[in-house]
């Protein structure tokens, strides 16, 4: 079985949602990112020496890291090919283009906003960077419902996580398409399940 190493609300939520969207059986182990420990007290650095989530342990015991690659791995194994079109289909590269944009341009621009030792000036600089990237994403999304149009593909759960971070850290008022996307994603059973599992949606017990 696959095992996802995650931290609540972190970028690991993207593959966590994808696993549920594509219906892949898996185990999910919570990581204390400060202590670099698992819930049983064992050392997470033995799983992923980089000390970050996500990490995906394969049935062979190999551990795959880097969100964009973990999402591709899962997408290529989905019984539902639309989530990542196969080789030979040009739209595969459009999907990967979006994943790469989110991981390199958006995701890492948030990092200083979460760091207590980053100055207000640094935070303001990165908030402006994020705003510019969200201008592009909002236009790209349009009426959606998803980044690629009618079908959910692997960058959508990733964008959902980034939209949640943006809402919390800088507000989403300037990006109405992103607000609508986030609301649509929040209605999805896979998203609700993961939010409950990660302890971020309290009103119903996890089944
Ligand atoms: N390059 C990695 C970065 C992953 C990453 O930044 N993960 C964050 C959570 S969103 C983390 O684990 N941070 C803990 C730390 O930096 O100590 C990837 O794309 O998967």
Domain residue limits at 25: 2-81+191-197
Q: Is 162 in the pocket of ligand 1 (CB under 6 A)?
A: no
The verdict on the CB of residue 11 being under 6 Å from ligand 1 is: yes
51 CB within 6 A, ligand 1: yes
C-alpha 23 – ligand 1 centre gap (Å): 25
Shared-domain flag, residues 22 and 42:
yes
Q: Has residue 11 got a pLDDT over 90?
A: yes
| CA 57–ligand 1 middle distance (angstroms) | 16
Q: Report whether residue 14 contacts ligand 1, using a CB cutoff of 6 Å.
A: no
The reported pTM is 0.96
Give me the count of residues in the chain: 207
The total number of structural domains in the chain stands at: 2
159-192 pLDDT, tens digit each: 999 999 999 999 999 999 999 999 999 999 999 9
Please give the Cα distance from 173 to 164 (Å, whole number): 13
pLDDT digits (tens, 9 = 90+) for 131-170: 999 999 999 999 999 999 999 999 999 999 999 999 999 9
Write the residue with the smallest CA distance to atom 13 of ligand 1: 52
- Say how far apart CA 66 and CA 72 lie, in whole Å: 10
Same domain (yes/no): 61, 101: no
Whether residue 207 has pLDDT greater than 50: no
Q: Report whether pLDDT(206) > 70.
A: no
Of 76, 77, 52, nearest to 65 by C-alpha is: 52
Q: Please give the distance of CA 186 from its chain centroid, rounded to a whole number.
A: 14
Q: Are both 88 and 167 inside the same structural domain?
A: yes
What does the H/E/C string look like for 45-110?
HHCCCCCCCCEEECCCCCEEECHHHHHHHHHHHCCCHHHCCCCCCCHHHHHHHHHHHHHHHHHHHH
pLDDT at 204: 52
**Going edge to edge, which strands form the sheet with 37-38?**
37-38, 26-32, 2-6, 55-57, 63-65
36 in ligand 1 pocket by Cβ < 6 Å?
no
Average pLDDT, the chain: 96
Estimate to the nearest angstrom the gap between the alpha carbon of 2 and the chain centroid.
Answer: 17
| Residue-wise pLDDT tens digits, 53-74 | 999 999 999 999 999 999 999 9
Q: What percent of the chain has pLDDT over 90?
A: 95
Q: Are residues 66 and 105 in the same domain?
A: no
| CATH code at position 102 | 1.20.1050.10
Determine contact, residues 188/18, Cβ cutoff 8 Å. Answer: no
pLDDT tens digits, residue range 87-126?
999 999 999 999 999 999 999 999 999 999 999 999 999 9
Place of tokens 């799983």: 47
33 lines ligand 1 (CB under 6 A): yes
Percentage helix, strand, coil, to 5, in the chain?
50, 10, 35
């Amino acid at each position: 079985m696959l095992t996802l190493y995650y931290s609540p609300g972190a970028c690991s939520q993207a593959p966590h949602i994808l696993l549920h969207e594509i219906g892949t059986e898996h185990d999910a182990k919570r990581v204390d990112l400060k202590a670099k420990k698992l819930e049983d007290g064992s050392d997470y650095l033995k799983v992923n020496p980089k000390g970050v989530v996500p990490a995906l342990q394969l049935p062979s015991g190999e551990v795959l890291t880097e969100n964009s690659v973990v999402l591709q791995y899962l997408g290529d194994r989905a019984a539902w090919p639309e989530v990542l079109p196969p080789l030979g289909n040009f739209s595969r590269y459009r999907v990967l283009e979006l994943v790469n944009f989110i991981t390199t341009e958006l995701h890492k621009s948030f990092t200083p906003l979460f760091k207590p030792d980053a100055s207000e000036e640094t935070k303001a600089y990165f908030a402006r960077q994020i705003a510019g990237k969200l201008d592009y994403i909002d236009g790209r999304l349009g009426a959606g419902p998803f980044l690629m149009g009618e079908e959910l593909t692997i960058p959508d759960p990733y964008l959902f996580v980034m939209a949640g971070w943006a809402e919390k850290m800088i507000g989403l008022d300037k990006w109405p398409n992103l607000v609508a996307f986030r609301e649509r994603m929040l209605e999805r059973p896979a998203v609700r399940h993961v939010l409950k599992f990660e302890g971020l949606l309290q009103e119903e017990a996890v089944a």
